[in-house]
Amino acid sequence: MDISVVIPLLNEEESLQELHDWIAKVMQSNQFLYELIFIDDGSTDTSWQVIEELSSKNKSVKGIRFQRNYGKSQALDAGFGIATGSVVITMDADLQDSPDEIPDLYNLIINENFDLISGWKKKRYDNVVTKNIPSKLFNWAARKTSGLKLHDFNCGLKAYKNEVVKAVKVSGEMHRYIPVLAKNEGFNRIGEKVVQHQARKYGVTKFGIDRFINGFLDLITISFLSKFGKRPMHFFGLWGSFMFIFGFFSAFFIGMMKLYRLSVGAKTILVTSNPWFYIALTSMVLGTLLFLAGFLGELIIKSNPQQKHYAVKENLNF
């Protein structure tokens, strides 16, 4: 199998037939062996019926239907799990990504040996205020934090070696950061290609301004996980030990000063009346809790296998 095309979707009944025909035309003209994997993320329209009809006519079409809406990350993760192509290409189902980009993306992975190629929608047909400006700010922050010099982290059109998608675990809303996740797994040949962006033809966008807020929060999360996700004790243990030692020696100093004043007959106050005593006590308690958090994190990582957080309702996998 040359190519697996993974397409997550939510209520895109109008565009699916046209998207399928476009992809099939590109594949046939380039003589690619391919599979087209639709992941219906809990659609409430007739999207799944359209996918079933496409599958009955074209055995290259596969589908997964979620019991409810879980999100794009979970949909991609499900598609990655069954993808068998040497190159896995992801795109959105709204016809804003052009299937004509597939041959070039495939060649970059196969012939130039990239692990991952991320699309860059250099010219966008979105609302400037609600999408373009927030997107530029988001991508700037992502570049600074991750160290990857990509212009469009959130572009749905990407190409991967099959081993990349099998190595990464996409959960929560981490689909924006698959290049970062791939880099964390040791796949360093990550490139970028300017791709065509088209105006939405059917329906309305399923994402609001809140995705950028969630995106920045996810960015903080993945930055932490990139450094300490597999060794939480290095973070929590370090700061916990520092805080406990600070609190312990502060309390020791307060106690020694109390004894010294008593020994020389100087006027003194109760230890519990000294505000520094409570600072020291709080530091020791917080330090202990942080250390325990790191220890428990290490136990969880070593004892619990990763679980998939979605329930599949139907699976068209031939």
Give the pLDDT of residue 298: 81
- pLDDT digits 0-9 by tens, 221-266: 767 766 776 788 888 889 999 999 999 999 999 989 888 888 888 8
In a domain, 313, yes or no: no
Instruction: For the chain, state the CA radius of gyration.
Output: 26
Pick from 3-12, 17-26, 237-246, 269-278: least confident: 269-278
Q: Are residues 151 and 290 in the same domain?
A: no
Q: Are residues 247 and 116 in the same domain?
A: no
Give the pLDDT of residue 198: 82
- pLDDT digits 0-9 by tens, 96-148: 999 999 999 999 999 999 999 999 988 766 554 556 677 777 788 778 877 88
Q: Are residues 148 and 297 in the same domain?
A: no
Q: Are residues 298 and 183 in the same domain?
A: no
Higher-pLDDT residue of 299, 133: 299
Q: Are residues 255 and 176 in the same domain?
A: no
Mean confidence (pLDDT) of the chain:
87
Q: Is 120 helix (H, G, I), strand (E, B) or coil?
A: strand
In a domain, 311, yes or no: no
Closest CA to 135 of 94, 99, 176: 176
Q: Are residues 180 and 266 in the same domain?
A: no
Indicate which CATH number applies to the domain containing 133. Answer: 3.90.550.10
- Beta pairing class for 116-120 and 158-161: antiparallel
pTM of the model: 0.74
- Spatial CB neighbours of 128, under 8 Å, sequence gap ≥ 6: none
Q: Are residues 11 and 153 in the same domain?
A: yes
Q: Are residues 292 and 161 in the same domain?
A: no
Cα–Cα distance between 103 and 267 in angstroms, integer?
A: 85
Cα–Cα distance between 35 and 37 in angstroms, integer?
A: 6
Q: Are residues 201 and 251 in the same domain?
A: no
Give the pLDDT of residue 208: 55
Cα–Cα distance between 178 and 250 in angstroms, integer?
A: 45
Question: Model confidence at 59, in pLDDT bands (50, 70, 90)?
Answer: very high
Decide which of 228, 251, 266 is a domain's last residue. Answer: 228
Give the pLDDT of residue 26: 97
**In which domain, by residue range, is 280 found?**
233-303
In a domain, 120, yes or no: yes
Using CA atoms, how far residue 230 sits from 117, 161, 184, 219, 300, in Å, is: 26, 24, 11, 17, 10
Rounded to an integer, the average pLDDT of 184-210 is 80
What percentage of the chain has pLDDT greater than the value 90?
55
Decide which of 228, 246, 271 is a domain's last residue. Answer: 228
Q: Are residues 218 and 253 in the same domain?
A: no
In a domain, 318, yes or no: no
In a domain, 130, yes or no: yes
Specify the number of domains making up the chain: 2
Decide which of 188, 208, 228 is a domain's last residue. Answer: 228
Question: Model confidence at 189, in pLDDT bands (50, 70, 90)?
Answer: very high
End-to-end Cα spacing for the chain: 14
Q: Are residues 174 and 198 in the same domain?
A: yes
Give the pLDDT of residue 215: 66
At residue 308, does pLDDT exceed 70?
no
At residue 24, does pLDDT exceed 90?
yes
In a domain, 16, yes or no: yes
Cα–Cα distance between 41 and 198 in angstroms, integer?
A: 23
In a domain, 198, yes or no: yes
Q: Are residues 18 and 154 in the same domain?
A: yes
